[in-house]
Chains A and B, each alone.
Chain A
Amino acid sequence: MNKNRPEKVYFFGTCLIDMSYPEAGMAGIRLIQREGVKVIFPPDQSCCGQPAYNSGFPEEAKAVARKQIEIFNKDYPIVVPSGSCAGMMKHHYPKLFENDPDIKRVRAFSSRIYELTEFLVHVLKIKLADKGEPVTAAWHSSCHAAREMKVIEDSKSLIRQLKNVRLKELENEHQCCGFGGTFSIKHPDISSAMVKDKIEDIKNTGASIVLSGDCGCLMNITGAMDYHKISIKGQHIAQFIWERINGE
């Protein structure tokens, strides 16, 4: 990992944040800008390609991936507010392009990928001052943030910097919440059983808010909590941090 502080970074918004959680994306951008780094948001960006990649449509995934590689063409780090999309771009793009003449370019692209909290901790070495009220927050690790990007400790270390936040870890922290993209649509019954157990664990922490670095999981967990009328809030970690340090 290149740990030198850059002047400029690219921000990849992810399709889910674009459509459903723009505030989380903005918070990520603000957190980087706050450290005096210029954030570039290429307007033509879209999706990392993972949905098609995981569903058995590699050609479609590759076409979309190629587009992102073209767009993020300068030598800046690319910061991604999602462990899952970051994992796709960092670890799976090189596999997708294994036998492609562009492979060198793809590898260079992948080497510039950072998950947001990883970037804040290791490159920007961000320091946070908490202005919020005391709160107990539960933490949900997304599978790919944990197992592909291995950034869970980074995310948690940021939350621990907030002195009024009591961080609670889930009993089965590393078990999938049942989202898995199209899995939750193809096997809604199994997915529901998984998210139900996850919610039980969240409830058991006594937290009033659950945080995650991945909006897919959040959409799944909060959707199920709303359905079951459980009043625990869900928020992307970037937005949570941004609100706490600004006393919002």
Chain B
Amino acid sequence: MENKKFNFKENTAQALLDSRLRKNLKFAMGAMIQKRRAVFSNAQELEKLRVLGNSIRRRALSKLPELLEKLENKCTENGIIVHWAETTNQACEIVLEIMQKHKADKLVKGKSMVSEEMHLNKFLEQHGIEAIETDLGEFIIQLAGETPSHIIVPAIHKNKDEISKLFHEKIPGTPYTEEVEELNAIARKTLRKMFYEGHVGLSGVNMAAAETGTLCLVENEGNGRMCTTVPPVHIAVMGLEKVVEKLEDIPPLIRLLTGSATGQLITTYVNMITSPRKAGEKDGPKEIHLVILDNGRSKILADPQLRQTLQCIRCGTCLNHCPVYTRIGGHAYGFVYPGPIGKILTPQMEGLEKAGAMTTASSLCNACEEVCPVKIPIPELIRRLRNESYDLNGTVQGHGYKKHFMETAAWKAWELVNRIPALNAASTKMAGLFGHMLPKAGPLKEWTHTRTKPVFAQKSLHETVKEQGVAHE
């Protein structure tokens, strides 16, 4: 999806024209917000839990190198083979090598955003390996040839009718049906076979405990468990920030994650993976690999303020509550991670030059911060990234995303007007006198697309208070 012609404004304009998308999103988001609210109905309890979640994540990040080392040691002790990848390409190569070593040409995949970040499916396809998505949502969008539009519900942009049509057209011998049960059964039947045919299974990791070398995976469909137990080889991919210190750190995070993501107290399946199949055990893979990916994360970690981005547990609730995301959907963002978390994560991973425009698409309404289970101050980080996008002379400072000389000059002028009382009085006076004659040009042109021009008062408050004799000191 790294579209070379990426133009955020064009994308959003197009998404907004898609009334079906708007309808699908509005419906789905409404339901998800309701469910979350129901499970977190006790505000005090939720707040306590969020404080705890925040402190667990902050503690982990504060000693991340140490914890990662410990995780590696523990995993190795347990018989899990650990690999490190600095770039997404290295991570892909590692997966490929494992596949080739086992002469495997089919990979069954559980849902994993990191593998999306790696663009793994495309990479494997180029090397003659078929990657099969087994999460229902991922399966749907794979059939459609699309990418996920939400980090938890990848096919949220599609409604039942669209899925019915897709199954009918893309799965050979499938009659058209709109029955949800039947659709589920079709997917299940199609996928079941794959688990046995797939030589290697791949999954993400929701969190990993350094203390014990345990990989934790939550899911509802059971396909994740199939991917991690049926094939003889299991590869887990994780971003390096996913580690926590202790096993006991995991339950509160699961509670926050599932409550925020799907409004559940707990998911149907919680997988805790500590080692490959041991002697005498009847199931489980014979070999487990853990690929730990950096992809810019250690740089983010180095900045104490931006580091908070890495607290994220990928629950997706900030997307559901974001008024911008709900209007344009995930694809308009043009990158793997959409919505509020995408707005702060993507520009840091991909650079402001490439993805900085995403930071402008926020009204800073604070809804994301209000719901984030681990208390990431997303609006504050958006502001920080906006600051970094310019320098004082209006020239690009290496990583600035746009050279906006005019904008910089305009803000300088704004500062003078608002710092020097005489200038302020004069400009307010001008607005009152001539505001109605302002041409619908520049910013006003955009504003007046769907709104009438702002009205400027004939007499400012400054003038009125003077006339009315309000005291001044």
**Which of A24-62 touch B at CB < 8 Å?**
25-26, 29, 38-44, 46-47, 49, 51-61
A190 to B278, CA, bound (A): 55
Task: Check A57 against B365 for contact (C-beta < 8 Å).
Answer: no
For B201-220 the 0/1 string (1 means CB < 8 A from A) is 00000000000000000000
B6 contacts the other chain (CB 8 A): no
A64 contacts the other chain (CB 8 A): yes
Select which of A21, A42, A183, A187 is within 8 A of B364 by beta carbon: A183
Task: Check B16 against A190 for contact (C-beta < 8 Å).
Answer: yes
Count residues of chain B with CB under 8 A from any CB of chain A.
Answer: 68
For B359-375 the 0/1 string (1 means CB < 8 A from A) is 01111111101100000
- Closest-CB distance, A194 to chain B (whole angstroms): 5
Task: Check B362 against A180 for contact (C-beta < 8 Å).
Answer: yes
**Given contact pairs A49-B418, A51-B414, A55-B386, A26 touches B468 in the complex (Cβ within 8 A):** yes
**Given contact pairs A19-B456, A46-B418, A67-B418, A176 touches B450 in the complex (Cβ within 8 A):** no
Task: Check A143 against B367 for contact (C-beta < 8 Å).
Answer: yes
Task: Check B449 against A188 for contact (C-beta < 8 Å).
Answer: yes
**Given contact pairs A56-B387, A183-B362, A22 touches B461 in the complex (Cβ within 8 A):** yes
Task: Check B12 against A223 for contact (C-beta < 8 Å).
Answer: no
For B335-366 the 0/1 string (1 means CB < 8 A from A) is 00000000000000000000000001111111
Select which of A42, A176, A188, A227 is within 8 A of B472 by beta carbon: A42
A64 to B370, CA, bound (A): 28
B303 contacts the other chain (CB 8 A): no
A186 to B331, CA, bound (A): 19
**Given contact pairs A19-B431, A52-B411, A144-B366, A189 touches B13 in the complex (Cβ within 8 A):** yes
Task: Check B323 against A175 for contact (C-beta < 8 Å).
Answer: yes
B412 contacts the other chain (CB 8 A): yes
**Which of A119-135 touch B at CB < 8 Å?**
none
B281 contacts the other chain (CB 8 A): no
Task: Check A224 against B360 for contact (C-beta < 8 Å).
Answer: no
Residues of the B chain whose Cβ atoms lie less than 8 Å from the Cβ of A46: 417-419, 421, 424
For B376-396 the 0/1 string (1 means CB < 8 A from A) is 000010010011111010000
Count of A-B residue pairs with CB < 8 Å: 195
Residues of the B chain whose Cβ atoms lie less than 8 Å from the Cβ of A164: none
Task: Check A223 against B13 for contact (C-beta < 8 Å).
Answer: no
A153 contacts the other chain (CB 8 A): no
For B304-339 the 0/1 string (1 means CB < 8 A from A) is 000000000000000000011001100000000000
A104 contacts the other chain (CB 8 A): no
Task: Check B450 against A188 for contact (C-beta < 8 Å).
Answer: yes
Select which of A40, A51, A59, A187 is within 8 A of B471 by beta carbon: A40
**Given contact pairs A56-B383, A174-B367, A190-B12, A185 touches B362 in the complex (Cβ within 8 A):** no
Task: Check B418 against A189 for contact (C-beta < 8 Å).
Answer: no
Select which of B387, B452, B462, B470 is within 8 A of A223 by beta carbon: B452
Task: Check A59 against B450 for contact (C-beta < 8 Å).
Answer: no
Task: Check B473 against A13 for contact (C-beta < 8 Å).
Answer: no
**Given contact pairs A26-B461, A67-B418, A19 touches B432 in the complex (Cβ within 8 A):** yes
Task: Check A60 against B414 for contact (C-beta < 8 Å).
Answer: yes
Of B323, B383, B455, the most chain A CB neighbours within 10 A belong to: B323
B447 contacts the other chain (CB 8 A): yes
B428 contacts the other chain (CB 8 A): yes
A111 contacts the other chain (CB 8 A): no
Residues of the A chain whose Cβ atoms lie less than 8 Å from the Cβ of B464: 22, 25-26
Task: Check A60 against B411 for contact (C-beta < 8 Å).
Answer: yes
Interface on chain B toward A: helix, strand, loop, or mixed SS?
helix
Residues of the A chain whose Cβ atoms lie less than 8 Å from the Cβ of B407: 55
B446 contacts the other chain (CB 8 A): yes
A95 to B379, CA, bound (A): 13
A29 to B463, CA, bound (A): 14
B4 contacts the other chain (CB 8 A): no
Residues of the A chain whose Cβ atoms lie less than 8 Å from the Cβ of B448: 227
A20 to B462, CA, bound (A): 12
For B426-446 the 0/1 string (1 means CB < 8 A from A) is 001001100100000001001
Select which of B16, B363, B453, B470 is within 8 A of A176 by beta carbon: B363
B residues neighboring A (CB under 8 Å): 9, 12-13, 16, 22, 323-324, 327-328, 360-367, 369-370, 380, 383, 386-390, 392, 407-408, 411-412, 414-415, 417-419, 421, 424, 428, 431-432, 435, 443, 446-457, 459-466, 468, 470-473
With contacts A188-B446, A189-B16 known, what are 9 further pairs, Cβ within 8 A?
A17-B461, A22-B460, A26-B461, A42-B472, A44-B421, A61-B415, A183-B362, A186-B360, A227-B451
19 residue pairs from A and B, CB less than 8 Å apart:
A17-B461, A20-B457, A21-B457, A46-B419, A46-B424, A53-B383, A56-B388, A57-B408, A58-B383, A60-B412, A64-B418, A147-B367, A178-B363, A179-B363, A181-B363, A186-B361, A190-B16, A192-B451, A224-B451
Report, nearest first, the 6 A-B pairs whose CB atoms are least far apart. A180-B363, A56-B386, A223-B451, A176-B365, A143-B365, A60-B415
